[in-house]
Structure 1
């Protein structure tokens, strides 16, 4: 990443992680808006001299280890992290630190990055890490925005940047509606590959299309078509274990004819015996270098939005959604969003709607929404139906009749709103087309960065209201606008609160950390736990899953110590610490609001 802010955004034809040519103008405009709303310099001299060394590693040992690694993989594939740090932006994100740093920019930094070109290279790196007792932290692309990006949990770790050289779509099987990808394959790249082959297949993508297909599934991310559970849609993995040994899961554990890949590997998810795939999601038990996915056959579809006028409609909306979802009437994983998100997804800064730093009042939100295409309302439901036109029309009629029980509910189709409205972006995403639109809400504040708080609740109005009330009150306490998005299924809700802060403002960062800490604790007291979190909050979240004296964590630690006795693979990721680090001051809890230093206190 060069930090060049004037040249066109690199295309997929030029770099593996670039923007597709169909989005070239949109990518340039999105970058211009983001960087135009920035007060931080592109880069600045680092305050700490020299490389941030791995823990318990001398400069002499580190230098020797790096020389050895360069000999094994080539000097051009091992880069020491000693240059000024550049936050960049979404499509040119760093692999040196978290671009959305909630701690000090220089705190969660790597000592070096290594770029493997094959599974065999990853095996070599793991053997190297064990020999020198240097922790390594694998990333696919480092675009896990809102959850820690490319930052290693242990400062000074060596980042294994899998995406830089391992970004091939290894297979797309049109008959089997499946594919096999390496870690660097983005949703953009997989989509363009399928289009180039003229196959009537869809990928399921999250809100932004530049992330890793493999990496998002490993972190159990979600999308919005019927294939929206990304990990559930995976089929077959190739995994390098911490020792450097190689494992294939599912039917891939059986060799194919003549030593080829098993022809059933992408057809059936399991093998014989225990299903082990799950232990490699949200863990640090192995490095996934290949992954298969089921793809969705292309389908006729209709996207739409409903608006609801009152804040107090919230619980009733949830109770209406539940039977529609359970009965299969709803075609996808819909979103229920607060109307304030109609404001921030315009890409306009908060200052366009409000003076000062305090949260917008309800009256201000109503007044601003009144001028937008959906008009004054409190909640917006975005959904999509799939199937033949007659079936879609019948489903939509049932949904409209159900929501009619809420006075003032209104239906909008894409043709009812301007082409620039967010509903058109939802229609693309829910039709398997990856986009960039969700970047626009980062312009809400200067130097926009964000954290996600993502608890799970049952799909019941009273439970959704309980979570919402906790989160709303704490946002008000700490002075943040509340941006809730609820992904509502038949039995559970992903409630995703997006804390947008100015990463140049130390007070905003401190308040954001305090808000996260208190939301985690308050929701856990009611039995609502996060499904995914930022790496600096993983210890606290993991410790809320403490039934039977923490039996789940004890089980995870047993697996970790058996597979990784030297504790070199991503220590601390998702709150799982190896014996070497455990209980030695690396863990962070609910009282750790000051993140100026990560690690044991001297």
Structure 2
């Protein structure tokens, strides 16, 4: 049996017996077969000595059981690692950050505690998935939307705590920012409620975020200082109508004024839904392409895109113009009454018309909800608040270095929301991609999923070959170093790189990390909670090795 670090086999056996008394023997998992489910199937350390494997897993059914388990863990100094549903693919899955931890699997805590259509909020437990909440809302006929990531099988709480994002209106896309009020089991087993929830019988727990005194909700992001057992979320009222609008601009460097103009429109709340940037030079975005079919690319353009030295943007722009294609395309998600959508689009059109050659198409404004048959034809219904697993239908994975690709890890730097930064990032990361022959699209674009910054996410291939995975880890380290030199930091990463990424946040001799570890020492002196997650540990635990 795998035993937690610095814990004797006798103490571990005693802790397991105590865990079983709390949850029942059926919900304590120690067999090799059961613990396979708590490996990260996308681990870039798969099968290696450094792969973090759980020593056991335990699945409580209530906050009271969580509190009892945490008190036992403290007694025996057992490291526990809470997960909600373990669907965090590309960022760690269900595996702990440190080998020998006991996974605290909260999947049984799957109740929708409260939902309020009038005030637009919901309170859920960690095991509630996006599918669960969507179905609950549909069954009750509520005119509320959820904002879901892709794929939609994960937990609302788990996704929010790890910094996940979605695709609807800006106030709901950043899932942690959309939360209001949480219940947390602290490392000593005491239960805390944040914000207005600290008042017994509070009537505005999910309506007023600040509460009284310092706002501490952010400390529980990523679960270093406690186990979140309930969380409130603000939900989006179902809009009357929806439409997509597409604008195009003809030249490569038009991205600079384009991003500036859209940024001002977003800051003024004229653009509220997600907008996506793409280039028509890379082919169509029809269903055939989405479901694994090859994109239709002009042969003259394909030669430029596939140049081993990299695509020359001057040549690509000329080839696009010869083919009658614009260089950039932006698709906007528009919500609200029909006249509001039309007014939004007119404002966008008026502002972007300052770029010579800009063209605009507002697609039909459609009343919501759409007919089920229309939703079924959509590749991604996420912009309509509908979770799906359709991202898995993108087609087969690539091979890399003659090895089958079984998954990916995300490199996720945040870059400035400017056209100049987008051009620089596309060039810098494309050069590294070509250098190592990474699989991926010929051009990769930043995402405007955040309101005032771009996300430039890249998926690096994961295989079952230790040699190939070691190469991928080295490429990842190079990407991080190159990004850090330019002041671009990652907002989220896989466990194999927690220490690496925290090391780049080193202002004033790592003042941020030292502050977080000071808090860790105060609230978790035995260092049992989410050990190693995002490179935060109690100093006593670090000293012990």
Deviations 1:82-107 (A, max 9, x none): 12876xxxxxxx3x110111112462
Within-5 A mapping of 1:493-532: 493-532=453-492
Report if the CA contact (8 A) 1:470-1:519 is conserved. no
Within-5 A mapping of 1:103-502: 103-105=45-47, 107-163=51-107, 165-226=108-169, 227-256=172-201, 262-299=202-239, 300-306=241-247, 313-337=254-278, 339=282, 342=285, 346-348=290-292, 362-363=305-306, 379-403=328-352, 405=355, 407=357, 411=361, 413=363, 424-426=378-380, 428-441=381-394, 443-445=396-398, 446-482=404-440, 484=444, 486-488=446-448, 492-502=452-462
Q: CA deviation at 1:305?
A: 4.2
Report if the CA contact (8 A) 2:416-2:454 is conserved. no
1:80 maps to: 30
- 1:253–1:401: structure 2 CA closer, same or farther, 3 Å change rule? same
- 1:510–1:351: structure 2 CA closer, same or farther, 3 Å change rule? farther
Q: CA deviation at 1:350?
A: 8.4
Report if the CA contact (8 A) 2:167-2:449 is conserved. no
Task: Output the CA distance in 1 between the equivalents of 2:259 and 2:132.
Answer: 36
Q: CA deviation at 1:74?
A: 0.9
Report if the CA contact (8 A) 2:81-2:529 is conserved. yes
Report if the CA contact (8 A) 2:43-2:462 is conserved. no
Q: CA deviation at 1:519?
A: 1.6
Report if the CA contact (8 A) 1:557-1:576 is conserved. yes
Deviations 1:397-456 (A, max 9, x none): 3334555536476748489xxx99999344x21221112222234723244411112222
Task: Output the CA distance in 2 between the equivalents of 1:104 and 1:456.
Answer: 28
Q: CA deviation at 1:188?
A: 0.9
1:99 maps to: 41
- 1:463–1:197: structure 2 CA closer, same or farther, 3 Å change rule? same
Q: Secondary structure at the match of 1:430?
A: helix
Report if the CA contact (8 A) 1:384-1:430 is conserved. yes
Task: Output the CA distance in 1 between the equivalents of 2:362 and 2:329.
Answer: 10
Report if the CA contact (8 A) 2:120-2:237 is conserved. yes
Q: CA deviation at 1:342?
A: 4.8
Report if the CA contact (8 A) 2:77-2:526 is conserved. yes
Q: CA deviation at 1:584?
A: 6.6
Deviations 1:283-331 (A, max 9, x none): 4111000001111111122124445666555444423322222222212
Task: Output the CA distance in 1 between the equivalents of 2:362 and 2:96.
Answer: 44
Q: Which runs of 5+ in 2 are unaligned?
A: 312-318, 366-372, 399-403
1:68 maps to: 18
Task: Output the CA distance in 2 between the equivalents of 1:350 and 1:584.
Answer: 54
Report if the CA contact (8 A) 2:52-2:96 is conserved. yes
Task: Output the CA distance in 1 between the equivalents of 2:543 and 2:327.
Answer: 46
Deviations 1:198-223 (A, max 9, x none): 11111111122111111111122111
Report if the CA contact (8 A) 1:303-1:430 is conserved. no
2:314 maps to: none
- 1:255–1:224: structure 2 CA closer, same or farther, 3 Å change rule? same
Task: Output the CA distance in 2 between the equivalents of 1:421 and 1:379.
Answer: 27
Task: Output the CA distance in 2 between the equivalents of 1:567 and 1:491.
Answer: 36
> How high is the TM-score relative to the length of structure 1?
0.77
Q: Which runs of 5+ in 1 are unaligned?
A: 1-50, 87-93, 257-261, 354-358, 586-602
Structural RMSD (CA): 3.3
Aligned residues: 507
Task: Output the CA distance in 2 between the equivalents of 1:228 and 1:158.
Answer: 32
